[in-house]
Amino acid sequence: MTLADVGGMDEVKKRLEISFLGPLRNPQLRTLFGKSLRGGLLLYGPPGCGKTFLARAVAGEMGASFISLSITDVLNMWVGSSERNLHDLFESARGHAPCVLFLDEIDALGHKRSQLNSSSMRTVVNQLLTELDGVDGNNDGVFVLAATNAPWDIDAALRRPGRLDRTVLVLPPDKPARAAILEYHLRDRPVAGIDLGKIADATDNYSGADLAHVCETAAEFAMRDSIATGEVRMISQQDMLSAVRDVRPSTDGWFATARNVAMFANESGEYDDLAAYLKKRKMR
Ligand SMILES: Nc1ncnc2c1ncn2[C@@H]1O[C@H](COP(=O)(O)OP(=O)(O)OP(=O)(O)O)[C@@H](O)[C@H]1O
Ligand SMILES: [Mg+2]
């Protein structure tokens, strides 16, 4: 899988290209412009819109130098020794530089320190801050990609310069992106006479995961008939339209929360993209 498999997300891809993939491919220019190969990017947005999927695509672009870990797993797997293991994880990333270290569900760890009642959690957060700063080791060539649904729960210290200082909002796909996502999820399925443009029109507000679910549901309809009649029937436009009616967009709840944040907790302008999107969609 590569970035080409990710439908839409042009802004996100551009950012990745400028801040990491481009410099990685051009070592001479990197030296010339004094650009260090390090940094952190926080992907945030509603569930199912492709944050994890995108990270996997970056892995594909880069070959082997990709370490991916869900923070929930870090905390569950290594009770009591999370800091040590976090350190080992970063050490391994440094050893494999250039490397992307993907920390999924970072809100599980980065909860505002004031909210943490367990002091062991606090130690883990502090350890992550230390690792991001690279005090103990040189972070050159280590690019940290993190993802979350709840950036407002993340410790502000994690978002200071030199850490996860760049933020990209990953939104539900627009129409061309929806067509691309639908095409991707139908690529290995038997289809006949499907008008992707029409389906894309009918799925405004659907997340990538919702669209994947639409394709799966349509495939089920065609398979159900094929089993009943003993004759293979291709997935049709009608199957797709019925599936769209069955699958409801799942991002409404997230936007309800996000709306409050954009309205009442955006003094520093960090949620301006979100506010602009909500305004465009007339959600505020
Ligand atoms: N841009 C896209 N192109 C193709 N498929 C996509 C895209 N976005 C999402 N999908 C599909 O939706 C599924 C869910 O996406 P993913 O798990 O990356 O979402 P997420 O943003 O990480 O969600 P969560 O916040 O719940 O972790 C993917 O496995 C993929 O099948
Ligand atoms: Mg995810």
- Reduced to 3 states, what is the DSSP secondary structure of residue 226? helix
Number of Cβ within 10 Å of residue 68's Cβ equals 15
Dist CA 83 CA 69 (whole Å): 14
- Ligand 1 atom with the smallest distance to the CA of 53 is 18
Q: Whose CA is nearest to atom 27 of ligand 1?
A: 47
Is the pLDDT at 24 greater than 80? The verdict is no
* Residue 209 Cα to ligand 2 middle (Å): 10
* Residue 172 Cα to ligand 1 middle (Å): 10
Within 13 A of 274's CA, how many CA atoms are on the CB side? 29
Tens digit of each residue's pLDDT (9 = 90 or more) over 249-280: 999 999 999 999 888 888 888 899 899 999 98
- Does the Cβ of 48 fall within 6 Å of ligand 1? yes
Provide the pLDDT for residue 221. Answer: 98
Could you tell me the two tokens for 67? 């370490």
50: left (phi > 0), else alpha (psi -120 to 50), else beta?
left
- Does the Cβ of 109 fall within 6 Å of ligand 1? no
Give the chain's domains with CATH numbers.
3-169 (3.40.50.300), 175-246 (1.10.8.60)
9-13, 31-35, 81-85, 174-178: which has the highest mean pLDDT? 174-178
Residues in the chain: 284
Q: Which residues crowd ion ligand 2, with CB under 5 Å?
A: 51-52
Residue 2 contacts by C-beta under 8 Å, 6 or more apart in sequence? Answer: 57, 60, 61
Q: Which of 74, 160, 88 is CA-nearest to residue 120?
A: 74
Is the pLDDT at 37 greater than 60? The verdict is yes
Could you tell me the two tokens for 273? 């993209």
Tell me which ligand sits closest to the C-alpha of residue 44: 1
Tell me which ligand sits closest to the C-alpha of residue 183: 1
pLDDT band at 113 (very low <50, low <70, confident <90, very high): very low
Is the pLDDT at 163 greater than 70? The verdict is yes
Q: Specify the long-range contacts of residues 11-16, CB closer than 8 Å, at least 24 apart.
A: 11/168, 12/43, 12/54, 12/168, 12/170, 15/41, 15/166, 15/168, 16/41, 16/58
Is the pLDDT at 190 greater than 90? The verdict is yes
* Residue 222 Cα to ligand 2 middle (Å): 29
- Ligand 1 atom with the smallest distance to the CA of 184 is 4
The residue to mutate among 3, 44, 49, having the most atoms of ligand 1 within 8 angstroms of its beta carbon, is 49
Provide the pLDDT for residue 232. Answer: 95
Provide the pLDDT for residue 240. Answer: 98
Dist CA 197 CA 26 (whole Å): 38
pLDDT band at 119 (very low <50, low <70, confident <90, very high): low
Provide the pLDDT for residue 79. Answer: 61
Tell me which ligand sits closest to the C-alpha of residue 170: 1
Provide the pLDDT for residue 155. Answer: 84
* Residue 191 Cα to ligand 2 middle (Å): 29
- Reduced to 3 states, what is the DSSP secondary structure of residue 151? helix
Mean pLDDT computed over 181-199? 96
Tens digit of each residue's pLDDT (9 = 90 or more) over 55-101: 888 878 776 578 888 887 777 666 667 778 888 889 999 998 888 89
pLDDT band at 239 (very low <50, low <70, confident <90, very high): very high
Looking at per-residue pLDDT, the higher value among 20 and 191 belongs to 191
